[in-house]
Every structure is written in structure tokens, then in C-alpha cells.
Amino acid sequence: ARRGAGAHPQRGMTDNGMMSRAKVLTIDNMNPTVKKVEYAVRGPIVQRAVELERELSEGMKKPFAEVIKANIGDAHAMGQQPITFFRQVLALCSYPELLSDSTFPEDAKSRACRILQSCGGFSMGSYSASQGIDSVRQDVAQYIQRRDGGVPCDPDNIYLTTGASDGIVTMLKLLVCGEGTSRAGVMISIPQYPLYSAALAELGAVQINYYLNEEACWSLDIPELQRAVNEARRYCNPRALCIINPGNPTGQVQSRQCIEDVIRFAAKERLFLMADEVYQDNVYADGCQFHSFKKVLFEMGPEYSETVELASFHSTSKCYMGECGFRGGYMEIINMDDDVKAQLTKLVSVRLCPPVPGQALMDLVVNPPQPGDVSLFVISSSGARFQERTATLSALAEKAKLTEQVLNTVEGISCNPVQGAMYSFPRITIPEKAVQEAAEKGQAPDMFYCMKMLEETGICLVPGSGFGQKDGTYHFRMTILPPKDKLQILLNNVKEFHQRFTLQYS
Amino acid sequence: ARRGAGAHPQRGMTDNGMMSRAKVLTIDNMNPTVKKVEYAVRGPIVQRAVELERELSEGMKKPFAEVIKANIGDAHAMGQQPITFFRQVLALCSYPELLSDSTFPEDAKSRACRILQSCGGFSMGSYSASQGIDSVRQDVAQYIQRRDGGVPCDPDNIYLTTGASDGIVTMLKLLVCGEGTSRAGVMISIPQYPLYSAALAELGAVQINYYLNEEACWSLDIPELQRAVNEARRYCNPRALCIINPGNPTGQVQSRQCIEDVIRFAAKERLFLMADEVYQDNVYADGCQFHSFKKVLFEMGPEYSETVELASFHSTSKCYMGECGFRGGYMEIINMDDDVKAQLTKLVSVRLCPPVPGQALMDLVVNPPQPGDVSLFVISSSGARFQERTATLSALAEKAKLTEQVLNTVEGISCNPVQGAMYSFPRITIPEKAVQEAAEKGQAPDMFYCMKMLEETGICLVPGSGFGQKDGTYHFRMTILPPKDKLQILLNNVKEFHQRFTLQYS
């Protein structure tokens, strides 16, 4: 009896004869832009995965013993251990009584003190400045300067954020304007990380798709950018170009040349550049290297470095630390108009400040222990000395290779090299019969495929349709994060499922 | 040379003869709704306070030794100590190695284990469910049920948030719709907490003002609500009614009768109710008591409890804990349409999850140590046994009283009792000459007054104009949070400043 049909237009009879009031807020009169939002990474397939987990825990029989959530880049949930030093400092900051505990290393203590001294009342419970803690922004600026071979970085251009998502949405907010053919358009890659399409839908901006070239290892081709912007100018006002490098979900790492070409294109077409660089440490393939947009921009000389407007985003959630739950991040803005920057500063002040523990963690990420510091090396449980960061990144590189290799042994699956980031995004052949059955169910064919895989194997992936793909092609995104032995089993199960599926629908 | 005027419309000559490119994103072509956002709590006066702090630290001579930020409810920054148990658990969750440390109390350890067991991979670094960690939402539901004398609460109706602000903005997002005279309108009190006006400006909704009755201790009068909604129906579509109880900035605590009347009004006028109850523990005045909207709603019987749509907000930032930096919070939604709720769940999934340390803290707030637990009592530095929570709240009650008393001794200042929350909002008389001088400077008279007070005394307050007030009346908001001896000095300085100011402009 949600919408009754009584004499009074807003009242109706329920089944038990009571008068019911129609809802004030209904699906028909709610914000229409919110309804358009889609976010596949946590969509229906994940909801079903959570249900399956509950059913398993209640003792229900399934053809698998556990659900493996390979849908999301959630490293710790997959068993990756946090960096010891980071967590020691966070514990010290949370409960400063521990500063007198002799079991904590001195460098962790002095770092905790430095962070707490930047907090009001020596407490992470105080609000920070809305732009973020001063000393953290200084450390971020120094990190960027080191990373970019000395290209200067002004802490005043750093805004700490609640994960990278928060920064991206905030920047998009500034850019949105206009109606009809002057409505702001934003160029995003297809496949894309669906935060972008979701934010654009919510903000009522136009999504302008440019397609990555799957045949050339998901490379970004300038002619395709040109095609997309030319077509878009007929119906909207293209204002920004978003790049994800290393790529999510596609794992490609852009060459220096490609970045330079993109910057020239943005300058020529007068587009605000947004560089999502949250996977900047996650580069595995031989011959690949991370180049920041900022560095390339500055190497191109003042014609570009003094004019092209750029925002770059980073996060505590990915790379070797994988601290997603803390929601730490930053953005750096370059060449932004001063008046617009003042508006940005005002806008972020409404939410008071990003979470302070996430800010502290961001500080540790950009300024980790250096050679000579006590905490650079830690003792592993097996007693061997190793660097946690290097160990994590080498393991990821191995798993990237393994994923590509195993998937490419399967007839009907073809996987580009996972050059970087945390995902494989293989192309899958789905037989015509399966496409038809999916259509009958009103599902995208790769959603149908992934849902079936989940029910039969417990493996939770995200269908390619959630990221966008060329019509008639199908993919899934799978993280490379499970521990190696588990990943091996997982890949074999994917292989067997695909073979079974293909047989069933051929 | 930000906007040049060369032959090419988008290029111009800079002073040194180089070609400059006009900015892509300018104040003229940026999102117009962002430009309308105002947030006085962190506005120009606070920016000046930060500058003054820097000048002091650089050794510049000022007529004061330190800047006192009484502009924001930031308890720890004012020296309030965190609750020991909370911080012990957070340290344990941050660095689980400490679980084997015998100096931590057993109840803190078992709580940390319970939280970590709800986190993927036993780590706060994992993403949680977008709605929040299951076990935390269960604890929140039990807290609400206890608080409301057994009125049932379903964990499925609880959404953990990034501070209360995040929840409030999310709810407003759902409600926004329409254009012209069908544009969604939202009723907010004047004076109000400026998050509301800022969010409405950004979302492009209509702000409908209803005035609190200063003469009757800032009470909320139904005829005024009726006047406001009647007038608003001529130019917009009123959809929601926001209430802050206990009041911010005005400190009033609503009577049970008043809440019942508000609920009847919302039902009659078909308004979605939003109850901002973040100060629910901050009630000081004799005869005053916090009544939750949820409890009153359910006591009014099924005609209301089964129909009136309500969202209620809480936070870790206020009350006795004052943990602002962690950005923890929750909202409970009642009688929301199922389809709308599914949209809400989808919407929050885009941002992945609220910060996990804030969720952990929220859990501790709603489920603190109980009589019999080891950590209920802690040893203070003076060796006496006391309950931190009670001590903090009694101190706040004393300071609320002291503030009211001292301010009311000043000719030209009149202050309602601070029944609850964390602020006084006294009315001040500003001489005509000062009003004129402010007008010449393009400042609101109370902004002029507060700016002058800051320059002369180092005391940072927020002018009443930042919250809204009846035309021709002037106020400021001042927190009651400084330690008692410091508050006494601060109040005397305010008194002396006001006398000097009055004399100067008379």
C-alpha cells in the first residue's frame, strides 16, 4: 500500500483497512539526477555476494566454501598486511600515552609528535584546517617535488581530501555549469572507473566518452580524443578531460609521449585536465614507468606549464599501503585562477575537514622512513629482514604477470598485460545463446556471465558493462590482490567456469 | 594579466610581453551554485584569526598574547581531553600488535577485537560496507532503542556517515527536484547552522526561513512555521523541515510538547522531517531534557509513527566526546519509501564507505563501558576517581551558566540561557555610528564588531549574520568550550571590549 488510490489524492486504504498517507518522498518525485547514478563496483553483484556470504555462514550448502571478492581494490581485505611503521604512528597519535612506551621505535614516536603538534590540543579529535593540516600539506609538496625531479610544488596548492573520490567530485563540482548546448561536458575514458560517470550524472553534466584502444594495450589515442571532442561540441560545452593513469580498470601505463600529446590536446581544446594518479606506485611491466602529468607539463616549458590548468589526485587507498578504510587523499591544483581557488577553499570549508587519521596516514605515505631510520626495515614473522613496501609491490608485480598468463591460456578470454594498477580487464567471448538468455532476463550479457560465475564458484567480479566498453564486446574486472596461492586457484576456477559456460551455451 | 585583451579572444599580452592564455575555468564561467555557498563558521574572520596566529608566532606585537578560537565547537582544540577508553580501543584497532600488551584493559581489548572482526582482513584499512560496518550499525540501533525507552530500531535503517554534515547533505540531495515554482524548498530555522544554507545553495534548492522566537528563549512557534510554509507555497514546493535540537547556534532545548506540535505540522503540511540531534547529550538547564523526534513520533501512535518520514542525525563530534577530527556519524531513517531507500543505498556506495576509524569511534560512543566494566572509571592525574563523561558534561553545564551570567552583566548585551549545545548566541546593541562605519566598509555590522574584537583582543567569534537573524538585530556566536578559568578571562575581555566599542561609537 505504498501509493494508495483513495478519494483523497494523497491518502489510500491499506490492506488492513487503515488509512495510509502517501509518502512525501517517492521514487517519482525524488531528485532525478540521483536516480541516474550507477556504480557497478558496489552494484547488484556485490549485494548478491554479501547475501551468499550470509547464507554460507548460516550453513547453507553451496558449490564453494567461500566468497572471494575480487570486485574491488581492497588490499587488506585480501590479506595484505599494513605497513608496520604507519600503524605504529597511528596508534601513538590515537593514544598519546603510548609515547612513553619503550617498545615503540623512536622514529615512530617523533613522527607521531610532529603530527600531534599540528593538531589543535595535541589531539586527532580536533578539526584541522579545511584544506588539511599545514605540516601534512608541506610534506605532500616535498614528496611531489622529489617525485617530479625538483619541479617546484607549493603547499598552498595542496588540498587534503576524504579519499581521492572526494577530490575528484569537488573539482567536477566547480566545472559544472550551463544548460542545453552550453551544458558543461567532461571527457572520460571508456572503460572508466564509474565514480566519474556517477558524479557526472549526479551533477547533471554531460559525459563525453573517448574509447581506449584495446588492440594496442588500452592505449589512449589522440585522434580518438579529437573525434570525441568534435562530436561533443555539437551538443555541449566540453570543459574538462579526465585521465586515469595507471589505468583503472584497464591497467595500462601511459608513456611520456602520450602524456605530452594529451597536454597539447588539452591546451589546444581549452580543457581543464584532471589526472587520477592514485596508482602511481603500481607499475609492474618492464619498460613501463610512471610519469606524473605535472612533471611532463613542466618539462614542456612555460607555454604549457604556465597556462594549462591541471588537478592531480592521489590517495592512501592503493599503491603498496592499501589503506582504503582511512579515506585519506590529496589533490594538487596547478594554474587555477585565484578567484576560483578561493571558491574551492570556501567550498571545502563547509565540510569542515577531511578525517584527521586519514590526513596523518597521507603524511606517512608521502614521507615514509628513510634509509638510516630505525623503521625502514622490519622483522618479518619468519625472522628475515625485508622492506614491506618493496615486498608488497614485487608480489603485486608477480600476480599481475600470473593473471595475464593464466587468463590467456583460456580459449575465449584475452587479456592485455597488466602494466599497472590492481586489475585485469580481460575480454571475454560470450556465446550468442547466452547473450539471448541475458536479454530475456533484462541483464547485460557480461552481468549475466558474472552473476552465474558468482553463483557457481563464489568469485565476485564486476562486469565490463559497469565500466563501459565498445558495443558488442564483453569484459570483466578482476583484482590481482588475493595472495598468490589463492589467486592461482581463483584463476583456475575462472578458467573452468569459462569453459563450462562456453560449452553450456554453444 | 589573468584575462588579456589581445586579438584572439582567448589570448592576450602579459606585462612582460608573453602571450598568455585565458583560464579555462574562471569565476565567470564556474558553477554558479558553488559561488552562492557561504559558510561563516570558517569565513573571513577565521582566516584573519589564522593570519594573526602566524603574525604572533613570528614575534609581531599585538595587544594580546594568543588567539582564542571561540568560533567553532572544537572541544579538543580547547583542551578537552579525549575519553581514555575510546582512544585505547582506537590504538588497539590501529596497531593490533598491542592486543598482547598487558597494560591495556581487557574490556578495551575485547572491544577492539569485536570491531576488527567486523573489518575485512582484521584491518581498519579495509573498505567497510557503504552503509557502514554491520556490527556498528547494530550497536547504534541498540543505543537508539535504549535511549528511546524501547521504541524499536532496525539496523537496516542506520547509515553511518562522515560526520553528521555528510548525512544531512545526502538527505537533502534526495529531496531536491523541480524548477520554477515547483522547485523543492527546505525549511530551516533562523538563526541556523550554516551547513544548511550552504548545502541548499549548492544543490539549487529554495531556502525557506522560519524565525525562532528570541524573546521566548529561542523557542520554535508553530504559527511561525505556518506563516513560513504558506508564503513559500507561492513560489516553491516545500518538501522538508529541518530542526536542530538542542539548537545551534541558539542553545535552546525543545520541549516534548513542541516536538509533538512540529510532528503534527510536518504531517499536515506533508514535509519530510530532518532532525539534527548531534547535541543530544549537551543539555544543561534545569527542567530541560532531550527528547528525540523518533521517540515522540512513536509515542504519538500509528497515525504518525507509521507515516511521518523522518531522518535523524548524530555525530562523534559533539556531546562529551568532541571527537570532531574523526568525522564519525550516523543517520537513522524512518518510514522512508523502499525504492527511495534503495536509491540512498546506491548513492552512498559511490563514495565507498565512511572513514572506518570514525565508524569505530561511533561504535564506542553508542556502546560505552557499562557499570561493572573495567574502564568505566579511570584515574585522573590528581588520583581521584571520576567518570570522564560526567565530568566533561558537568564542566560544560557550569560554563554554560557562567557565560550567560557574565554576558548579562554587560549593558548592551543580552543572552538567553544556554539550555544546551555548546554556544551562546547573545544579542548585542551596536551604536548607529558603528553601523554606518560598517556600511562604508561593506561589512555587516556584527562582522565589523567581531572583526574589531578579534584585532583588539584575539578573541575569534562568528557574527550573527553568518547564521541569519531578524533584520536590525545583531548577535555573535561564542562557544562555551574554553577551560573555565580561561573562559572567565575571555568573557571579561568580551565585556571590556563591548564597553570600549560602545563608548567609541556613541
The ipTM (two decimal places) reads 0.92
Q: What's the average model confidence in pLDDT over B130-154? A: 96
Facing residues of A12 across strands?
A: A20
Q: What's the average model confidence in pLDDT over A194-214? A: 95
Half-sphere exposure of A180 (CA within 13 A, CB side): 0
The pLDDT value recorded for residue B44 is: 85
* Residues whose CB falls within 8 Å of the CB of residue A457, separated by 6 or more in sequence, listed in order: A63, A64, A493, A494, A497
Instruction: Kindly tell me if the per-residue pLDDT of B290 is higher than 70.
Output: yes
> Which B residues in the span 76-115 are in contact with A, Cβ-Cβ below 8 Å?
76-80, 82, 87-88, 90-92, 94-95, 98, 101, 103
The pLDDT value recorded for residue B383 is: 39
C-alpha distance from residue A33 to each of A30, A166, A205, B283 (Å): 9, 18, 10, 40
Measured at the CA of A275, the angle between CA A271 and CA A279, to 5 degrees, comes to 165
Percent of chain A surpassing pLDDT 70: 93
* Residues whose CB falls within 8 Å of the CB of residue A206, separated by 6 or more in sequence, listed in order: A183, A184, A185, A186, A200, A232, A235, A236
The pLDDT value recorded for residue B374 is: 59
* A500 and A452 Cβ atoms separated by less than 8 Å: no
Closest residue in A to B307 (Cα–Cα): A21
Burial classification of residue B174, based on how many CB atoms lie within 10 Å of its CB (0-12 exposed, 13-18 middle, 19 or more buried): buried
Instruction: Kindly tell me if the per-residue pLDDT of A195 is higher than 90.
Output: yes
Instruction: Kindly tell me if the per-residue pLDDT of B95 is higher than 60.
Output: yes
Half-sphere exposure of B175 (CA within 13 A, CB side): 32
Pairing of strands A310-315, A272-276: parallel
The pLDDT value recorded for residue B193 is: 94
Asked which of A132-141, A186-195, A363-372, B401-410 is least confident by mean pLDDT, the reply is A363-372
Number of separate helices (H) and strands (E) present in chain A: 17, 18
State whether residue A176 sits within 8 Å of chain B by CB. Answer: yes
> Which A residues in the span 242-301 are in contact with B, Cβ-Cβ below 8 Å?
267, 270-272
Distance (Å, rounded) from C-alpha B63 to C-alpha B69?
Answer: 16
Mean confidence (pLDDT) of chain B: 92
In chain A, residues with a C-beta closer than 8 Å to the C-beta of B202 are 173, 347, 350
* A163 and A156 Cβ atoms separated by less than 8 Å: no
pLDDT in tens, A395-405: 999 999 999 99
Distance (Å, rounded) from C-alpha A239 to C-alpha A202?
Answer: 17
The pLDDT value recorded for residue B379 is: 40
The pLDDT value recorded for residue B20 is: 59
Distance (Å, rounded) from C-alpha B13 to C-alpha A172?
Answer: 30
Instruction: Kindly tell me if the per-residue pLDDT of A10 is higher than 70.
Output: no
Three-state SS for B155? helix
Three-state SS for B265? helix
Closest residue in B to A161 (Cα–Cα): B355
Residues of chain A with CATH 3.40.640.10: 129-354
pLDDT in tens, B4-50: 343 444 445 555 545 557 999 999 999 999 999 888 777 789 889 99
The pLDDT value recorded for residue A444 is: 94
Q: Do A30 and B174 lie within an 8 Å CB cutoff?
A: yes
Closest residue in B to A28 (Cα–Cα): B340
CATH code of A40-79+387-504, in short, is 3.90.1150.10
B350 backbone dihedrals φ, ψ, rounded to 5°: -65, -35
The pLDDT value recorded for residue B429 is: 97
The pLDDT value recorded for residue B336 is: 97
The pLDDT value recorded for residue B370 is: 72
Residues of chain A with CATH 3.90.1150.10: 40-79+387-504
Asked which of A304-313, A365-374, B215-224 is least confident by mean pLDDT, the reply is A365-374
The pLDDT value recorded for residue A126 is: 97
Facing residues of A188 across strands?
A: A209
Give strand ranges (E) for B151-303: 158-162, 184-190, 206-211, 237-244, 272-276
* B275 and B312 Cβ atoms separated by less than 8 Å: yes
Residue A411 grid coordinates? 580459449
Give strand ranges (E) for A336-412: 378-379, 385-386
Q: How confident is the model at residue A374 (pLDDT cuts 50, 70, 90)?
A: low
* B217 and B196 Cβ atoms separated by less than 8 Å: no
Half-sphere exposure of A240 (CA within 13 A, CB side): 31
The pLDDT value recorded for residue B8 is: 45
The CATH architecture of the domain made up of B84-126 is Orthogonal Bundle (1.10)
Shortest Cα–Cα distance, B506 to chain A (Å): 36
Q: What's the average model confidence in pLDDT over A215-244? A: 97
Task: Name the residue with higher pLDDT: B372 or B205.
Answer: B205
Q: Do A350 and B239 lie within an 8 Å CB cutoff?
A: no
State whether residue B67 sits within 8 Å of chain A by CB. Answer: no
SS (H, E, C) B27-65: CCCCCHHHHHCCCHHHCHHHHHHHHHHHHHHCCCCCCCC
Distance (Å, rounded) from C-alpha A192 to C-alpha A201?
Answer: 14
Torsion of CA B88, B89, B91, B96, to 10 degrees: 130
| Helices marked H in B283-355 | 293-299, 302-305, 338-349
Q: Do A120 and B349 lie within an 8 Å CB cutoff?
A: no
Residues of chain B with CATH 1.10.287.1970: 84-126
The pLDDT value recorded for residue A265 is: 98
Q: What's the average model confidence in pLDDT over B419-435? A: 97
Mean confidence (pLDDT) of chain A: 92
A 10 A CB-CB count for B180 gives 8
Distance (Å, rounded) from C-alpha B467 to C-alpha B476?
Answer: 9
In chain B, residues with a C-beta closer than 8 Å to the C-beta of A123 are 76-77, 82, 325
* A294 and A335 Cβ atoms separated by less than 8 Å: no
Burial classification of residue B117, based on how many CB atoms lie within 10 Å of its CB (0-12 exposed, 13-18 middle, 19 or more buried): exposed
pLDDT in tens, B222-238: 999 999 999 999 999 99
DSSP B19: E
A 10 A CB-CB count for A111 gives 25
Give strand ranges (E) for A58-119: 68-69
The pLDDT value recorded for residue A7 is: 40
> Which residue among B95, B101, B239 places its CB closest to the CB of A90?
B95
> Which residue among B39, B130, B325 places its CB closest to the CB of A356?
B325
Instruction: Kindly tell me if the per-residue pLDDT of A379 is higher than 90.
Output: no
Q: What's the average model confidence in pLDDT over B85-94? A: 96
Shortest Cα–Cα distance, B432 to chain A (Å): 31
Residue B141 grid coordinates? 540501533
The pLDDT value recorded for residue B166 is: 96
Selected for mutation to probe chain B from A241, A352, A356 (highest B CB count within 10 Å) is A352
Distance (Å, rounded) from C-alpha B392 to C-alpha B401?
Answer: 14
Q: What's the average model confidence in pLDDT over A30-49? A: 87
Q: Do B23 and A309 lie within an 8 Å CB cutoff?
A: yes
pLDDT in tens, B241-274: 999 999 999 999 999 999 999 999 999 999 999 9
CATH code of A129-354, in short, is 3.40.640.10
The pLDDT value recorded for residue A43 is: 79
The pLDDT value recorded for residue B384 is: 39
Q: How confident is the model at residue B470 (pLDDT cuts 50, 70, 90)?
A: very high
In chain A, residues with a C-beta closer than 8 Å to the C-beta of B43 are 349
The pLDDT value recorded for residue A31 is: 93
The pLDDT value recorded for residue A371 is: 65
Least Cα distance to A275 among A350, A330, A208, A216 occurs for A330
Q: What's the average model confidence in pLDDT over A265-281? A: 97
Q: Do B121 and A350 lie within an 8 Å CB cutoff?
A: no
Task: Name the residue with higher pLDDT: A3 or A11.
Answer: A11
Q: What's the average model confidence in pLDDT over B177-181? A: 92
Burial classification of residue B277, based on how many CB atoms lie within 10 Å of its CB (0-12 exposed, 13-18 middle, 19 or more buried): buried
> Which A residues in the span 12-51 are in contact with B, Cβ-Cβ below 8 Å?
18-21, 23-27, 29-32, 34-35, 37-39, 41-43, 50
- What is the topology classification, in CATH, of domain B129-366? Aspartate Aminotransferase; domain 2 (3.40.640)
Q: What string of DSSP letters covers A173-206?
A: HHH----GGGSEEEEEEES--THHHHHHHHHTPE
Q: What's the average model confidence in pLDDT over A75-101? A: 95
Q: Do B125 and A75 lie within an 8 Å CB cutoff?
A: yes
Measured at the CA of A458, the angle between CA A456 and CA A464, to 5 degrees, comes to 90
The pLDDT value recorded for residue B31 is: 93
Least Cα distance to B419 among B195, B212, B163 occurs for B212
* A116 and A122 Cβ atoms separated by less than 8 Å: yes
The pLDDT value recorded for residue B372 is: 63
Shortest Cα–Cα distance, B280 to chain A (Å): 19
> Which residue among A129, A267, A309 places its CB closest to the CB of B25?
A309
Q: Do A202 and B173 lie within an 8 Å CB cutoff?
A: yes
